[in-house]
């Protein structure tokens, strides 16, 4: 259990860096969700992706630079493309870009002496949607990871019980989850019609989305347990990665997410009923 917890926390720290993060000096890709990134003069990075934060490059980037929301200042060199979706790209006098400079909202500032090997072009709508979808997927995955780790740390025994229920009662859980998925909103709306039931209806409406999210995380835990028999947190991380990768499949991904939510919701309810009987 301790090893699994350590693994989960290390993965969490890698995915969610500090508010101010600097690129590693020994190279490698760098992915930052929130925070500014500085590539120093003596530093080298492969690909650099920042969802929300400013980027300053004084050293060398051997791959591409993609910034979803933030300014990009280049005083060093970038071998590949530079993409600034929402923010200002500025090239200093010694700034070098081997590929294209692609911008979204603001026209880049190019100081005399800077060089762009490819084209300087405005972001296409299709490209923007792809980059935005990738950013949203990363943010959503990290949010689910955080929520799941918190729940498992607070109630590890409940996680074990849920995993056992998913293995022992899969068909019943799926049927219960299907009923609950559609009945919960109906009950909430019906309760809100009356003055007496209004508080209950409001609470149910506010809890529906969190319950669906927890149901999805429950399925991730069950799937992870099928792959890894030991280590609750490690199994959860593995299951979540599997589900999130499957969610990338066009059309089928949405269906998989829907089914995972239904199944997980049913597993939760069945586990609660079994715990009450016990």
Angle at CA of residue 58, ends 53 and 60, nearest 5°: 100
* CB atoms closer than 10 angstroms to residue 74: 28
Which DSSP string do the residues of 99-152 spell out, in sequence order? S-EEESSS--EE-TT-EESS-EEEPPHHHHHHHHHHHHHHHHHHHHHHHHHHHH
Band of pLDDT at residue 71, cut at 50, 70 and 90:
very high
pLDDT of residue 4: 43
Whole-number Å distance between alpha carbons of 50 and 36? 8
Of residues 91, 98, 84, the one with CA closest to residue 113: 91
**Ramachandran sector of residue 31 (left: φ over 0; alpha: ψ -120 to 50; beta: rest):** beta
Q: Taking 60 as the threshold, does the pLDDT of residue 48 lie above it?
A: yes
Residue 207 has pLDDT above 90, yes or no: no
When pLDDT is averaged across residues 79-88 and rounded to a whole number, the result is 89
- For the segment 81-95, the average pLDDT, to the nearest whole number, is 90
Query: pLDDT tier at 5 (50, 70, 90 boundaries)?
Result: very low
Q: Kindly tell me if the per-residue pLDDT of 98 is higher than 90.
A: yes
pTM of the model: 0.55
Q: Is the pLDDT of residue 31 over 70?
A: yes
Residue-level pLDDT at 133? 66
**What does the block give as tokens for 276?**
């009450």
DSSP 127: H
Which residues make beta-bridge pairs with 121?
A: 102
Residue 150 burial by Cβ neighbours in a 10 Å radius (0-12, 13-18, 19+): exposed
d(CA 129, CA 46): 24
**What is the helix (H) or strand (E) element at residue 3, kind and residue range?**
helix 2-15
> Residue 2 above 80 pLDDT?
no
**Pure H helices in 196-250:** 198-227, 232-246
Q: Is the pLDDT of residue 272 over 70?
A: yes
Specify the DSSP class assigned to residue 4: H
Percent of the chain with pLDDT over 90: 27
For residue range 218-260, list pLDDT tens digits in order.
Answer: 999 999 888 887 788 888 998 998 998 888 777 788 898 899 9
Q: Is pLDDT at 70 greater than 60 in this prediction?
A: yes
Predicted local confidence at residue 128, as pLDDT: 53
Determine the average pLDDT of the residues in 78-99.
91
Q: What is the pLDDT of residue 129?
A: 55
Residue 130 has a pLDDT of 59
- E strands, 25-122, where? 30-34, 36-39, 44-45, 48-52, 55-57, 60-61, 65-69, 72-74, 77-78, 82-86, 89-91, 96-97, 101-103, 109-110, 115-116, 120-122
Residues 6+ apart with CB under 8 A from 141: 240, 244
**In the predicted model, what is the mean pLDDT of residues 124-153?**
75
């Amino acid at each position: 259990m301790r090893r699994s917890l350590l693994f989960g926390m290390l993965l969490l720290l890698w995915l969610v860096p500090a508010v101010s993060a600097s690129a590693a000096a020994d190279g490698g890709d760098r992915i930052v969700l929130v925070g500014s990134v500085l590539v120093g003069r003596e530093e080298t990075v492969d690909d650099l992706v920042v969802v929300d934060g400013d980027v300053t490059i004084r050293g060398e980037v051997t791959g591409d630079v993609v910034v979803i929301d933030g300014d990009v200042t280049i005083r060093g060199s970038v071998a590949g493309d530079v993409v600034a979706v929402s923010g200002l790209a500025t090239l200093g006098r010694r700034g070098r870009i081997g590929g294209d400079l692609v911008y979204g909202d603001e026209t880049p500032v190019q100081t005399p002496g800077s060089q762009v090997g490819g084209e300087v072009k405005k972001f296409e709508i299709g490209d923007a949607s792809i980059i935005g979808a990738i950013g949203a997927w990363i943010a959503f995955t990290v949010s689910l990871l955080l929520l799941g780790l918190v729940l498992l740390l607070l109630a590890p025994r409940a996680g074990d019980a849920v995993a056992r229920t998913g293995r022992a009662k899969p068909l019943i859980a799926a049927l219960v989850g299907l009923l609950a998925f559609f009945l919960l909103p109906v009950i909430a709306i019906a309760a809100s019609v009356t003055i007496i039931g209004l508080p209950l209806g409001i609470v149910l409406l506010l809890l529906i989305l969190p319950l669906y999210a927890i149901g999805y995380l429950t399925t991730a835990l069950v799937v992870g347990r099928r792959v890894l028999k030991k280590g609750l947190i490690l199994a959860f991380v593995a299951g979540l990665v599997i589900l999130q990768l499957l969610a990338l499949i066009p059309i089928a991904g949405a269906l998989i997410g829907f089914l995972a939510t239904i199944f997980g919701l049913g597993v939760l309810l069945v586990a609660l009923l079994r715990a009450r009987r016990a």
